[in-house]
Chain A
Amino acid sequence: MSITSRVKKVLTGNHATAYAVMQARVDVIPAYPITPQTTIVEKLDEFIENGLLDASMIRVESEHSAMAAAIGASAAGARTYTATSSHGLLYMYENLWWAANARLPIVATFVTRAIGPPWNIWSDHQDIFTLRDTGWILFMAKNAQEAYDLTIQAFKIAENPNIRLPVGVGYDGFYTSHTSEPVEMLSQDEVDSFLPDKRAIKPLLDPEHPYTIGNLPDASFNFLIRKNMWSSMESSLDYIRKVGYEYYLLTGRNYGDLVDKYRTDDAETIFVSIGAMANEGIVAVDKLRARGVKVGHMALRLLRPFPTAEVLDVLDGADRVIVFSRALSMGKGGVLFTELADLAYRYHLDIDVYDVVVGLSGVEVVDNDFIKIFRDVSEGVFDNKETIFLLGGKYV
């Protein structure tokens, strides 16, 4: 049934996302199955078959074609959505760049999953971090409620004519995609008035106004295309804040801050993580606080554009940051660590940044992992020059 008033339902992350996409009244959904993304598009297919969503599902023959069809649909002016994971994300990789460079307001869900070989269906953030430099605006939700909320906001951000960049919402496979929790959903009327008119998306392909999309430019023109994307990305921060604040006024759930901070105000040590493991970091903070330790947790809910001002604000006053990465840059270190470490240099922060790699390949990350690292770092077992690998409570 269509959602006539605000309602709380127990939903998986994937079904919460499917409801958000339905309520956003998307036009076209090109999709290809891959675990653990599949139950999103299955649910959307069900919504379409049951007449709850008036949209076209294109059951393409590959993820490469899923993003290609999304490019065609969005370029023609339709509100367009797709979802993928892991190898599917890598298979569509080329077209993820086409979508960004063509400034198409596509919204996608990236249910994070390890990359093989060997085959592994569990959560790992290696896949979503390959999008880091593409020009996609990227969120990382820590639970099903955030997945729902950010998906609604994603359409508004992507379709802003001054931004016009694709937006991806990531969350952890299985931890978030397949576990259920209470999710508060807006009424259809609320979503309708929150989102812009989808027919305001300016089509790039329109026989009334014939344009050629993607002709060979000279090098400096191409440089400027990338520079203009950078500028739109940078300026999108203000709009993402504004949308997050409007959403806060509507729901009481704060997204205007861009980072999700927990007891960071007077914290001397700040844990940084993303996605589902942030929930464990928050539990660890409570446990450590109970012992009188001044720690806090910051989840980087927005990965791109990087919310520098908010992050600096959180780090202000802290003397130690411990960054937990569920993705590894081989020969360099934890991917999330490199995201934080450059701030210390650029802004001359008197702060130690520690690089901890956890949870690769879906290995469970628990509150005690945060507590153990905190203790050992405090006791000087590690310095901030090394990459620390923690697997199941043991250093490896």
Chain B
Amino acid sequence: MSKPKLVSIIGEQEYYYPGHAACQGCGASIGLRHLLKAIGPNSILAVPAGCTSIIAGRANLSTFGIPFIHTAFASASAVASGIVEALDRLGKKDVNVVVWAGDGGTYDIGFASLSGAAERGHNILYVLDDNEAYMNTGIQRSGATPRGAWTTTTIKGKKEGKKDIIDIMLAHNIPYLATASVAYPLDFHRKVKKALSIKGFKFIHLMAPCPPGWRFDMNLTVEVARKAVLSGVWILMEIENGRLKLNPPSNTMLEKRRLPVEEYIKMQGRFRYLKGELLEEFKRDVEMNWERVKKILAEQSR
């Protein structure tokens, strides 16, 4: 019997071990597993405070089969910069240095160090594990929390929209950016491999749903992530040297072949206040993202 397509591409070797301390149905857990398979053992992972601080397991045990360093909340990109320079000095030029950081550690407290490392062009792959709130500390809103979402610090739903981190990172003129989703592991795997083949600072924005934080059953993680893409709330794309390309299935959705946004939000208890004008604003946010993509694509084809 031949191996399934997924296994033949991503390989059977695991570096994310059983016994990890993630919640059941954790989206980040799916992401970490596939990230580690793609980067392989000749890599060093730097991770700031967040869910992965716990997922990593209890000392003296570890979830990870590769070198892994916990960093201060704001510091992952700077620690990674130090690692890159040290490896260069030590003549270890082929080691992948990877940051895996949550949305709080990226959009908010970690932003200065992220921006600094990107501006310096350090040879780092940065993977943003986005579950759209401070989940590890008990579901507080972050700069990544979407409009209307309930969190423990936006108990009637967040009034502000989600910060556009892709646009911000694009403004750093880095050679490779991509979005990804835990519902599309092959796409994520390919993007990680692609990013590692490029020298400089690379940024992958991975959507990783969180059952306890988003209020859905733990068996629905992949389904929620998929609905985010199929409803157009989450757009799969990559931007290489400034050139944007949509990836399947988002590339078929330019002309509104999308599920209604409600199909995505109704699965999640966090959106229980997303009604009326707030819901209309949320839809406008989604439309605006697509309009921006269309505009860029139109300019590119000119």
Contact = CB atoms under 8 A, between A and B. Distances in A.
A58 B79 CA distance: 11
B97 to A, nearest CB: 9
B43 interface: yes
Contact of A216 (B56, B83, B84): B56
B59 A30 contact: no
Contacts of B62: 211-212, 215
Interface stretch (B27-35, B65-73, B150-158, B286-294): B65-73
Contacts of B78: 30, 60, 64-66, 68-69, 72
B82 A72 contact: yes
Nearest to A30: B82
Contact of B86 (A77, A214, A216): A77
A117 interface: no
Contacts of A72: 46, 69, 71, 78-84, 86
A101 B205 CA distance: 32
SS of B interface (majority)? mixed
Contacts of B74: 64-65, 68
Interface stretch (A200-208, A245-253, A255-263): A200-208
Interface size range on A against B: 35 or more
A207 B66 contact: yes
Contacts of B84: 72
Nearest to B57: A215
A76 B87 contact: yes
A221 interface: yes
Interface in B85-144: 85-90, 95, 112-113, 115-116, 119-120
A210 B90 CA distance: 17
A77 B80 CA distance: 13
Contact of A64 (B67, B75, B81, B87): B75
A216 B59 contact: yes
Interface string B25-66: 000000000000000011110100000011011111111111
B299 to A, nearest CB: 31
Nearest to B85: A56
Given A207-B44, A213-B68, A214-B69, A73 B61 contact: no
Nearest to A213: B69
Given A72-B46, A72-B80, A207-B44, A61 B67 contact: no
Nearest to B82: A72
Given A75-B69, A217-B58, A80 B86 contact: yes
A218 to B, nearest CB: 7
Contacts of B115: 61
B56 A61 contact: no
Contacts of A71: 71, 75, 79, 82
B90 A76 contact: yes
Given A75-B69, A207-B44, A210-B67, A69 B81 contact: yes
Nearest to A206: B67
B116 A210 contact: no
Nearest to B73: A94
A95 B54 CA distance: 20
A74 B64 CA distance: 21
A213 B79 CA distance: 13
Given A65-B116, A76-B82, A78-B86, A212 B42 contact: no
A293 B239 CA distance: 79
Residue among B66, B71, B75 with the highest chain A CB neighbour number at 10 A: B75
Contacts of A211: 62, 67-68
Contacts of A216: 53-54, 56-59
B51 to A, nearest CB: 12
A64 B46 CA distance: 16
Nearest to A71: B79
B50 to A, nearest CB: 13
Interface in A211-242: 211-218, 221
B4 to A, nearest CB: 28
B60 A70 contact: no
A61 B85 CA distance: 16
Contacts of A204: 67, 69
Contacts of A218: 58-59
B199 to A, nearest CB: 16
Contact of A58 (B41, B90, B120): B120
Nearest to A218: B58
A314 to B, nearest CB: 40
A395 to B, nearest CB: 43
A77 B53 CA distance: 23
Contacts of B75: 64-65, 68, 71, 95, 98
A258 to B, nearest CB: 32
A56 B90 CA distance: 11
29 contacts: A27-B90, A28-B82, A28-B86, A30-B78, A56-B88, A58-B82, A60-B116, A61-B119, A62-B113, A65-B81, A66-B78, A68-B75, A72-B69, A72-B80, A73-B82, A73-B85, A75-B69, A76-B83, A77-B90, A78-B89, A94-B72, A95-B72, A205-B69, A207-B42, A210-B41, A211-B68, A213-B67, A213-B68, A213-B69
Nearest 7 CB-CB pairings of A with B = A72-B82, A61-B116, A214-B70, A65-B78, A68-B78, A68-B75, A78-B86
Given A212-B69, A216-B56, 7 more contacts: A28-B89, A64-B74, A68-B71, A69-B78, A72-B81, A206-B67, A212-B63
